[in-house]
Amino acid sequence: MIEVYNLVAKYGNFTLKEINLSIGNSECFVLIGPTGAGKTLFLETLLGIKPLFKGRIFSNGKDITKIPPEERSFSYLPQDLALFPHLDVKDNIGFGLKIKGLPPREISDKISSIAKMLKIGYLLDRKNVRSLSGGEKQRVALARAIVIDSKTLFLDEPFGALDTAARYELLTEFKALQERLGITVILVTHDLNEATFLADKMAVIMNGEIKQYGIPEEVYAQPESDEVAKFLMVGKLFPNKTDLNPLLWKKPRKIKMD
Amino acid sequence: MILAQFFLAYALAVLVIKTTFAGIDIRLEQVARFLGCTPWKVFWHVSLPLARNGIIAAFILAWARAVGDFGSTSTIAGAVRGKTETMPISIYLNLATVSLDRAVVLSVILTLMTIAALVTICLLLEKRS
C-alpha cells in the first residue's frame, strides 16, 4: 500500500499542493489530468527522482520519504521507455536481475518466462533495441520492469506513442497481467480511454491540485466541479451528464440526412 | 615537452568527454536506479558504456592535437634534433637544413595520420549517435 500525506513538491514556479492519497495493494491507480497539470512531477516525487518540499510517503507502512530510489522496491516505466541502447533485448530485460547478482541460469530462465508471458520470445535474439517497433519496445520495457519482481509499478503515459490497435491490444494484455501478478500500478495519463479502461481508482489533477478522487464510475457520474466535468467531457450542468461523455456511449449515434 | 603537450591537449579531451556525458539521456540513468543500481553502478553499467565511443574519440583528438603541435613544444622545450624532435619539429629542422625529401615524407605521414584520426573520430561518433 502506498500512502501519501500532505505532499507538496515544487519545480520552478510550479507547485503540487498538499496531496493526500492512499493506493491499495494490487490496485491500479490512474492519475489523469491535462498537459502541465503536474502528473509527471507527482510521479517523480513519489519515485524519489524529484525532492519533495513537504509531506511523507509510506510504502507498506514503511516511511520511504528520504530513502534513495533503488531502495524503494519500485519499478518505473517512463514515457520514452528508456531502453538501454548499448544492450541487446535479452540484456535489457535481464539488466535488473544482473545487478541483483542472480546466477546466469536463473536470469536466463526468468527472461524466458517473462518473454513468453509478454509474447516477445521471438525478440530475444535481437541485438539492436533501436530496430524494434513501438509496440515491441513497449513490451520489452514492460518485461524489464516486471521481471525484477517489484510489487509496485509506476508508468508515465507509456502507451501514448502507439497506434489505436496496438494500444488496445497492449492495454488489454497489461490489465490481465496486472491482475494475474497482483502488482500495484500507478499510472499517469491524459488519455481518458486509457484511464477508464485500466483504473480501479482514479484521481483528476489540475494545476497541481487533486480535484477529485474515487472509482472511475463515481468520478464520471458525479464530477465535483465544472472544470473536472469539462476535462472528462461530462456535462455537470446538464441533468443527464453521461450523455455528453463519448466514452460511455454504447453505440455510435446515427445522423439522419434529409 | 610532455607537459606542454598535455596542457595543450587535455582541455580538448575534457571538453569532448564532458559533452559526451551531458548528451546521455538522464531517463536511462533514472530507470537504472529503479532496477537496483546505486549511483556508482549507474555510472559503471550505463553512463560509461554509453560514453565509451566519445571517450575514445576525445583521446584520439587529444593525441592528434599533441602530435601535430609545433608552437608550444618549440617555445617551451626548444627545437633540438634527437631530443625534442617531434614530427612537426623534425619537418621544420629538415626544411631548415634543406633536406626536402625527408621533410616531404614526414609531412605526408603527418597528413595521413591526421586523416586517419579524423575518420576514426567520425566513425566513433556516428556509431554513438
CA-to-CA distance for A251 and A83, rounded, in angstroms? 40
Q: How far is A255 from chain B (nearest CA, A)?
A: 48
CA-to-CA distance for B97 and B111, rounded, in angstroms? 21
Please determine, for residue A250, whether its predicted confidence score (pLDDT) is greater than 50: no
pLDDT for A247 equals 53
pLDDT one-digit tens code per residue, B57-104: 999 989 888 888 888 888 887 878 888 888 889 998 988 888 889 899
Please determine, for residue A199, whether its predicted confidence score (pLDDT) is greater than 90: yes
Q: What percentage of chain A carries pLDDT values higher than 90?
A: 60
Instruction: Name, in order, each residue with C-beta under 8 angstroms of A254's C-beta and a sequence gap of 6 or more.
Output: none
| Residue bearing the bigger pLDDT, B40 or A191 | B40
Residues of chain B contacting A100 with CB distance shorter than 8 Å:
36
Please determine, for residue A63, whether its predicted confidence score (pLDDT) is greater than 80: yes
Q: Do the beta carbons of residue A41 and residue A33 sit within 8 Å? A: no
The CA-atom distances, in angstroms, between B128 and each of A78, B20, B21 are 22, 9, 12
Record: contact B36-A85, CB cut-off 8 A:
no
Q: Counting beta carbons within 10 angstroms of the beta carbon of residue B40, is it exposed (0 to 12), middle (13 to 18) or buried (19 or more)?
A: exposed
Please determine, for residue A253, whether its predicted confidence score (pLDDT) is greater than 60: no
Sign of the alpha-carbon torsion through A83, A89, A94, A95: negative
The segment(s) of chain A belonging to CATH 3.40.50.300 are: 2-73+151-248
Interface test with chain B among A84, A91, A144, by most B beta carbons within 10 Å: A84
Record: contact A148-B49, CB cut-off 8 A:
no
pLDDT for B71 equals 84
Interface test with chain A among B29, B34, B126, by most A beta carbons within 10 Å: B34
Question: At CB < 8 Å, which residues of chain B contact A?
Answer: 25, 27-28, 30-38, 41, 45-46, 49-50
Please determine, for residue A249, whether its predicted confidence score (pLDDT) is greater than 50: no
Residues of chain A contacting B49 with CB distance shorter than 8 Å:
86
Q: What is the ipTM of this complex?
A: 0.82
Please determine, for residue A12, whether its predicted confidence score (pLDDT) is greater than 70: yes
- What average pLDDT does chain B have? 88
- Binned at pLDDT 50, 70 and 90, residue A238 comes out as very low
Closest to A248 in 3D by CA, of A192, A198, A206: A192
Please report which helix (H) or strand (E) contains residue A29, including its range.
Answer: strand A28-32
pLDDT for A87 equals 95
CA-to-CA distance for A38 and A9, rounded, in angstroms? 10
Interface test with chain A among B28, B30, B35, by most A beta carbons within 10 Å: B35
HSE of A51, CA atoms in CB hemisphere, 13 A = 2
| Residue bearing the bigger pLDDT, B3 or A121 | A121
Residues of chain A contacting B30 with CB distance shorter than 8 Å:
49, 69, 76, 78, 82
- Binned at pLDDT 50, 70 and 90, residue B129 comes out as low
Record: contact B38-A76, CB cut-off 8 A:
no
Please determine, for residue A71, whether its predicted confidence score (pLDDT) is greater than 70: yes
- Binned at pLDDT 50, 70 and 90, residue A235 comes out as low
As a three-state string, the secondary structure of chain B is: CHHHHHHHHHHHHHHHHHHHHHCCCHHHHHHHHHCCCCHHHHHHHHHHHHHHHHHHHHHHHHHHHHHCCCHHHHHHCCCCCCCCCCHHHHHHHHHHCCCHHHHHHHHHHHHHHHHHHHHHHHHHHHHHC
Q: Do the beta carbons of residue A161 and residue A82 sit within 8 Å? A: no
CA B49 from chain centre, in angstroms, equals: 19
Record: contact B34-A80, CB cut-off 8 A:
no
The listed CATH number (2.60.40.1180, 3.40.50.300, 1.10.510.10, 3.30.70.270) that belongs to domain A2-73+151-248:
3.40.50.300
CA-to-CA distance for A193 and A36, rounded, in angstroms? 19
Query: What residues form DSSP beta bridges with A23?
Result: A2
- What average pLDDT does chain A have? 87
CA B4 from chain centre, in angstroms, equals: 15
Instruction: Give ∠ CA A159-A100-A185 in degrees, rounded to 5.
Output: 30
Say if A95 is an interface residue toward chain B (CB within 8 Å).
yes
pLDDT for B83 equals 81
Query: What residues form DSSP beta bridges with A118?
Result: none
Say if A80 is an interface residue toward chain B (CB within 8 Å).
yes
> Domains of chain B by range and CATH?
2-128 (1.10.3720.10)
Q: How many other C-beta atoms lie within 10 A of the C-beta of residue B11? A: 12
CA-to-CA distance for B96 and B109, rounded, in angstroms? 19
